[in-house]
Amino acid sequence: MFTGIIQAVGQVRRLEPRGGDVRLTIGSGKLGLAGASLGDSIAVNGVCLTAVTLAADAFAADVSRETLSLTTLGGLTTGSPVNLEPALTLSTPLGGHLVSGHVDGVGQVLERREDGRSWRLRIAAPPELARYIAHKGSICVDGVSLTVNAVDGACFELNIVPHTLDETIIAGYRTGTRVNLEVDLIARYLERLLLGERAANPSGGASGGGLTREFLAEHGFGR
């Protein structure tokens, strides 16, 4: 588990293809690795990866074929900057929100504009994630815990304060930039709970029918 509070911006040093998978070697920047151990989880642009080698200022992690296809990690190149966060501990302040490091989909930056010293971003999410994105709710973008300022269908807006621009890769976003998205995990579990016994049916699975307007109306969630 993570909090969505980025601890450092690292840099991809090496990409080694290994039978369809890739081993990433990442310079850790200011992220201290002195207390890290092999097998520790480190979020890279919001993707939970397992450290398989450790050095004083770098670590390596294997990225599966599925992760490469379902996240933006497949588009990284040598020199790419990446957001880094170590797994939280019981003593870690929960400054963001609970983040699993399991990406739900890839979004795209539609617009970037200045707003005082902050930036406003408009991002398009995959349509199937729209029901999990709420005004003033939380969303994780490339591992960064952010508050949703506005929602319009599958598009949402964010306000990025100067500190976040300084401490993450968001300052490098441009129109068209692809970003990893993880929705609030409480919303995902709430959907499953609302399904009740239907959750055991194949059509009620996460990739199946799920909640419908008719189902919600039947159970009093609507007019």
Our CA angle for 124, 130, 134, nearest 5°, is 100
Residues of the chain with confidence (pLDDT) below 70: 203-223
Do 141 and 193 share a domain, yes or no? no
Number of domains, the chain:
3
Nearest CA-CA partner of 59 in 48, 51, 71: 51
Asked whether residue 42 is assigned to any structural domain, the reply reads: yes
177 secondary structure, DSSP code: -
Residue 92 to residue 164: CA distance in whole angstroms = 19
Of 102, 103, 97, 96, the residue nearest 125 (C-alpha): 103
Which pLDDT value is given to residue 91? 82
For the stretch 110-164, pLDDT in tens is 999 999 999 999 999 999 999 999 999 999 999 999 999 999 999 999 999 999 9
pLDDT of residue 152: 97
Question: What's 59's domain CATH number?
Answer: 2.40.30.20
Residue-number span of the structural domain to which 211 is assigned: 186-218
Q: Quick one: 70 and 26 in the same domain?
A: yes
> Are 147 and 136 found together in one domain?
yes
| The pair of three-digit structure tokens given for residue 10, joined into one six-digit string | 């690292």
Whether 13 is in a domain gets the answer: yes
> What length does the chain have?
223
Which residues, 6 or more positions from 183, have their beta carbon under 8 angstroms from its beta carbon? 104, 129, 132, 133, 139, 140
Please give the pLDDT value at position 214. 61
Let me know if residue 111 belongs to a domain. yes
CA distance linking residue 136 with residue 54, whole number of Å: 39
Whether 3 is in a domain gets the answer no
Round to whole Å and give the CA distance between 50 and 152: 36
The predicted pLDDT at position 207 comes to: 47
Same domain, 177 and 198: no
- Do 62 and 16 sit in the same domain of this protein? yes
